[in-house]
Amino acid sequence: MIVFDLACACGCRFEGWFRDHGQMQSQRERGLLLCPACGGAAVHKILSPVAVKTGQRRRLRAEEDGAQVTREDARHGQAALKIISEISAYVEANFENVGPRLAEETLKMCCGDKKMRNIRGEASPEEESLLKGKGINLLKVPILKKEKEEPPQ
């Protein structure tokens, strides 16, 4: 998932979560990207501070879109990173890491084989849609930690 900071002609600023950059572009081109404040479609991206992918961090450079990086945008990006690192730390401290067995463990819990508990880990897009089909939505949170963690055996 990628978070984009968006701005509307009315002066409103908001955040949009997209699968990737292309999805944001196509939604915008088709006029589906609407401002939450005025409902207008005169929305443009102001900066891509952080790109989020399960289990890893990647920073998008603003130059990719030829966007101008202003000092305010940079502050905005840093504030976003701070929030993300807090979420990341919370999840790491309070959720058991099951690594690539996320989908498996989730299914065990929801089918009653295992007690419900907080878990985190990685799921492939296929596993994610499998879970979705069963009415389970994964919450994706950015994890800033760089080193790869080994799941417990």
Q: Residue numbers of the site for Zn ion (CB under 5 A)?
A: 8, 10, 12, 35, 37-38, 40
Round to whole Å and give the CA distance between 146 and 119: 19
Cβ of residue 53: shortest distance to Zn ion, in angstroms?
Answer: 29
In sequence order, the β-bridge partners of residue 50 are 3
Cβ of residue 5: shortest distance to Zn ion, in angstroms?
Answer: 14
Cβ closest to Zn ion, residue 35 vs residue 62: 35
Cβ of residue 41: shortest distance to Zn ion, in angstroms?
Answer: 9
Cβ closest to Zn ion, residue 5 vs residue 127: 5
Tokens of 3: 């978070």
Cβ closest to Zn ion, residue 40 vs residue 55: 40
Note whether 7 and 13 are within 8 A (CB). Answer: yes
∠ Cα 1 64 121 (to 5°): 20
Cβ closest to Zn ion, residue 38 vs residue 89: 38
Cβ of residue 48: shortest distance to Zn ion, in angstroms?
Answer: 20
In sequence order, the β-bridge partners of residue 44 are 7
Asked whether the CA dihedral 50, 48, 131, 135 is positive or negative, the reply is: positive
